[in-house]
Structure 1
Amino acid sequence: MTEVTVPEKIEDIEIRLLLEALFLKYHYDFRNYAMASIKRRLKQARQQLGFATFSALQESLLHDPALLPRLLRYLTVQVSEMFRDPGYFKAMREKVVPHLRTYPSLKVWIAGCSTGEELYSLVILFREEGLEDRTIFYATDINHEALQAAEAGIFALDRVALFTENHRKSGGKSSLSDYYQAAYGRVSFDKSLRRNVVFSDHSLVTDAVFAEMHLISCRNVMIYFDSGLQDHALGLFKDSLVRKGFLGLGSKENLRFSRHANAFTDFVREEKIYQRRAE
């Protein structure tokens, strides 16, 4: 690839046209993601995929569907760890679980589950608290390859020390090693952890609500959205939750400036856990 110098204003136009083409052709909508973030990711994708300009990338994307999953790897967030921010999971265990125990059956939605680290964290937590058998977990993401990785439940062995420490700090009641087998530099989490899990493609931008959820966990996804799209996603979560259901966000996310803020109360403020109002 020969690098082509393109004026920034022209480059911005190319990016907007590329995002429009991605939406019209494949129904993946990144048009209202924060521009600085999406531009950085697209630049990396263009360089790594071997295109001189965004226009060239757009042309190839329109005529070669095989390019789509390769591009999505750059556009979707796939950085996570099990029991990330242990205080969040400790608050779930100590503050949220006692409320969830009052329901005969539960539905939990992990929105933007990426490669599954948060999903397995919540399933393990629910198993340790005796709630797994009465719970259906919905694990969704727009990236089909990420969903396949989540369903496989295989992670690099060198990540497990961090996972184990996070689990301990979150108030884990067992050893994390009880849930996986290690071999050939990888760990495979027990398939029993997936027995109550539904994996599904879902876009927070274009798809409908998941009804009657008791807990929605969507962490470190909305930081890549602009304010309008954040509002849209929070409205989706509001409409998906039962009354007094719970919403967990990432450490850098909040409801403060959303038009849906009045639909929630702070439940564990410092861990960004909110509760849907009863009215």
Structure 2
Amino acid sequence: MTNSAHDEPDRHGRHADDLEVRLILEAIYERYHYDFRDYAGSSLRRRLKAGQQRFGCANLSQLQGRVLHEPEVFRSVLSDLTVQVSEMFRDPEYYRALREQVVPVLRTFPSLRIWVAGCSGGEEAYSMAILMKEEGLLDRTLIYATDISQEALAQAQAGVYRVDQVPLYTENHRASGGVGSLSEYYTAAYDHVLMDKSLKERIVFSDHSLSTDSVFAEVQLVSCRNVLIYFNRALQDRALGLFTEALCRNGFLGLGARETLRFSAHAGEFVEIAAKERVYQKRSA
């Protein structure tokens, strides 16, 4: 059996698929100003292929044409490219580390700003707001929850989640050291729950790209979890540079369980506070 022309490398060892991936990402950037060009290759290819199959395209070049000329196709592909997988108090030990090792320092600030970068459907932003409320800090805290997906931001701002997810959220909250019951922070109706207004009032949901945008505020804590794993090394360093610039002296950075500062150009600007939970503190000088 012979390979198709798409599978055969050119004289430089490159495959047609590689070129098509680069071209569709460049087209998305030029047409819609979403920059995925420095996202990790294997993950991007898998998601683009899923879109290709869903729309019955023979190859990525055909999908590119539809993305450029059919906004509804672009919105669907964008949803594929922006991973929206989250849960409240995901990795409870991370939130326990925040309670025990970060909150005591945050108490020393007269006002607090927290940046939840890549907030997806808002679960992490509401988890952070609940933690701050339980620690008596929410009234002086403003949480910036950012994402590149307008669809995700709309869901986050609505604060509506499936009721069948609540048992998992409740167990995560308990394991994180939560005070009282998670049910204090939502209202149940039919098969969904609505997050409490007192939490929403302290969260600003906003469009922000770690690929192209700049720092917008000084903050005491940045929480960006399970986002950097989808970036290549250059984009990881760009994002970590933004976080470093945004953090005040002695501010804190929280990453996902499979993410680390160890090989970053910014590693020397932080000290490790909770190694397993990936919590770091910016050096004072």
Which category of TM-score, normalised to the shorter sequence, fits these structures? over 0.9
Which amino acid letter does the alignment assign opposite residue 256 of structure 1?
Answer: R
> What letter corresponds to residue 97 of structure 1 in structure 2?
V
Q: C-alpha distance in 2, partners of 1:108/1:233?
A: 16
SS of the equivalent of 2:243 reads: helix
Structure 2 residue aligned with 1:150: 156
1:7 aligned partner, one-letter code: D
Counterpart position of 1:88: 94
Deviation at 1:56, TM superposition (A): 1.1
Q: Tell me the residue number matched to 1:270.
A: 276
Aligned pairs for 1:15-26 (under 5 A) are 15-26=21-32
Q: CA RMSD in A?
A: 1.2
- Cα deviation, residue 245, structure 1: 0.4
In structure 1, C-alpha distance between the alignment counterparts of 2:55 and 2:268, rounded to whole Å: 44
| Aligned-pair identity (%) | 58
Tell me what 2:7 maps to. Answer: 7
| Alpha carbons 2:117, 2:145 under 8 Å: kept | yes
Residue 222 of structure 1 corresponds to 228
Tell me if 1:100 matches 2:123: no
Aligned to 1:141: 147
**Aligned runs of 1:113-262 on 2, under 5 Å?**
113-262=119-268
Query: For 1:81 and 1:212, how far apart are their aligned partners in 2?
Result: 27
Moved over 6 A (4+): none
SS in structure 2 opposite 1:66? helix
Q: How does 1:43-122 map to 2 (within 5 A)?
A: 43-122=49-128
Q: 2-side partners of 1:185 and 1:6: how far apart?
A: 47
Aligned-residue offset at 1:194:
0.6
- TM-score, with structure 2 as normaliser: 0.94
Structure 1 residues without counterparts, runs of 5 or longer? none
Matched residues, number: 276
- Aligned 8 A contact 2:89 2:172 in 1: yes
Normalising by the residue count of structure 1, what TM-score does the alignment of the two structures yield?
0.96
2:37 corresponds to 1:31? yes
